[in-house]
A and B are shown apart, each in its own frame.
Chain A
């Protein structure tokens, strides 16, 4: 078990780098506490798998250091780092039985056979694999195989961290839910540092205590699921998390005033600095309501999801989505919108202004 620290980590798959786009990840700093459950969330190609492989030692970073318990381990190989990793597709050893598969990482480390037996049975019990221990692993279903992959990661009791690289991609939706709860339960039981990579916000938000959102190789925000929802630090976090995502509208800053579509609006922050190339206002659909005055819009369409209504409207400078109660009356034609001040933020060059 260990605390994981990343310092100024950058990696490029190219030999020479000329622009920011040549870096798969750039300038990543992370502090993860021992025993925590963390998620790396981001769209495909944002660098999250690269980051994970750097932590596990499968990739050597171009710049920066990785520390486990404040000791630099950048030069060590995966075995020396003593980590476990579970991949997107189930990796099993076809010719071995389920038992031998689970015992494999322990046997490679020359652990006595009696100890292996205890350990394997314990893990098999947890993952509900006990009845299939003597079967050939290749005969199992996809989720059974992925459980073996998980089991091989969990079987070693001394690992520094367990890493999951989108482990539920190949699993059926209804089993996904079960396996995810299983993981959460295992985390509470064994209390080891777990790092979970995913592009699925539900998976990240339900699994982790702390979610790290990545965008184009950078960390844009680290926080609890509530933080990410209520106070996105970057417009990307705003529209990547939430369904539908945050509304982002261009705005002008004049002195202390924030002006959207010619109307002055109130936002959460006090504006001190205003020399940005681009200024925007972000507000989640949940925090907008219809009013007698405010931003003038035209109502385009209403879709009822059962729990609530999603209203599409169009303002002078862009579309705005609103989430309204399912029993609320939606005005047709022109209407006015009011943003909730506490949850309305201004962004300068995509980053929150503070």
Chain B
């Protein structure tokens, strides 16, 4: 086939290129610029090479926030994925229940991040919040602003509330796309409910679950607004996840060099984990 050569077509690409350049490439390059240099303002820069990278990689503060970040992400994935699948399995498959459930499920997803944070902050206040007050009335010594365990518990609960719906909706879509013949065949083959789940439903949901895990990993790994509004990273640094710590370093202490180096490391960790995970999940797919 002969392709028509039309160099003028490049003009159509320009708006997108400009847009991407302004919102992604140029800011990223600025960060790269800061990561390798030292500045005292007035646009005076001095070359520092890999000094900031070494400093960050060896800093205990970075290790601690990275550790907290991974712990948080693993906990919420561990809760949200099974819980999301379980809810999707119990959702009605026909009738008026379907739209009702879908709308109810989508509600938390429509609420802006800072509103979620503010809502949960008030909800969990130990003296006047419904959750905080109730827990204390039941005899628990609950105060998320002072106790580390309570702060983690509240942050995780908030994230589960906010994002499990996404896993539910994706899993539900995956489940609905399974042909009824699979269930009928399994029934005739005498398969147990557990076998139907592991041999039919899970394999058929594999693709949507891959997407769900990837999205939840990325979002939770980059979480900022909700814990910032809820706990502000505290008590102490207990819920200072990577992004909160990064903002503290960049805008609080104005350590632009180390903050820029940290941003790049942060970015590469997300990229690397996503790539490894996606490659592993899709490896078998290509074979067959």
- Map CB proximity to A onto B99-141 as digits: 1 under 8 Å, 0 otherwise: 0000000000000000000000000000000000000000000
Give the docked Cα–Cα distance between A26 and B199 (Å): 37
Q: Does residue B64 face the partner (Cβ distance < 8 Å to A)?
A: no
Contact yes or no, B189 A104, CB < 8 A = yes
Residues of A within 8 Å of B182, CB to CB, are: 91
Residue of A nearest to B204 (CB): A94
Residues of A within 8 Å of B188, CB to CB, are: 56, 58, 78-79, 83-85, 105
Residues of B within 8 Å of A77, CB to CB, are: 187
Q: Does residue A88 face the partner (Cβ distance < 8 Å to B)?
A: yes
Contact yes or no, A58 B192, CB < 8 A = no
- Map CB proximity to A onto B197-213 as digits: 1 under 8 Å, 0 otherwise: 00110011000000000
- Map CB proximity to A onto B251-288 as digits: 1 under 8 Å, 0 otherwise: 00000000000000000000000000000000000011
Contact yes or no, A89 B179, CB < 8 A = yes
Q: Does residue B4 face the partner (Cβ distance < 8 Å to A)?
A: no
Q: Does residue A18 face the partner (Cβ distance < 8 Å to B)?
A: no
Residue of A nearest to B181 (CB): A87
Q: Does residue B177 face the partner (Cβ distance < 8 Å to A)?
A: no
Q: How many residues does chain B have at the interface if contact means C-beta atoms less than 8 Å apart?
A: 18
Contact yes or no, A108 B192, CB < 8 A = yes
How many Å from the CB of A119 to the closest CB on chain B? 14
Residues of B within 8 Å of A95, CB to CB, are: 199, 203
Give the docked Cα–Cα distance between A167 and B232 (Å): 62
Interface residue from A88, A108, A152 paired with B181 (Cβ < 8 Å)? A88
Q: Does residue B91 face the partner (Cβ distance < 8 Å to A)?
A: no
Give the docked Cα–Cα distance between A60 and B232 (Å): 60
Contact yes or no, B195 A58, CB < 8 A = no
Interface centre among B181, B192, B200, B204 (most CB of A within 10 A): B181
Given A136-B288, A139-B288, are A89 and B181 also a contact pair (CB < 8 Å)? Answer: yes
Give the docked Cα–Cα distance between A323 and B139 (Å): 94
Residue of A nearest to B192 (CB): A108
Q: Does residue A174 face the partner (Cβ distance < 8 Å to B)?
A: no
Q: Does residue B185 face the partner (Cβ distance < 8 Å to A)?
A: yes
Residues of A within 8 Å of B15, CB to CB, are: none
- Map CB proximity to B onto A149-165 as digits: 1 under 8 Å, 0 otherwise: 10010000000000000
A residues bordering B, Cβ < 8 Å?
A: 53, 56, 58, 77-79, 83-85, 87-89, 91, 93-96, 104-105, 108-109, 136, 138-139, 149, 152
A-B contact pairs, 23 of them (CB 8 A): A56-B188, A58-B184, A58-B187, A78-B188, A79-B187, A85-B188, A87-B184, A89-B179, A91-B179, A91-B181, A91-B182, A91-B185, A93-B199, A93-B200, A94-B204, A95-B203, A104-B189, A104-B191, A105-B188, A108-B190, A108-B191, A108-B195, A149-B185
B residues bordering A, Cβ < 8 Å?
A: 179, 181-182, 184-185, 187-192, 195, 199-200, 203-204, 287-288
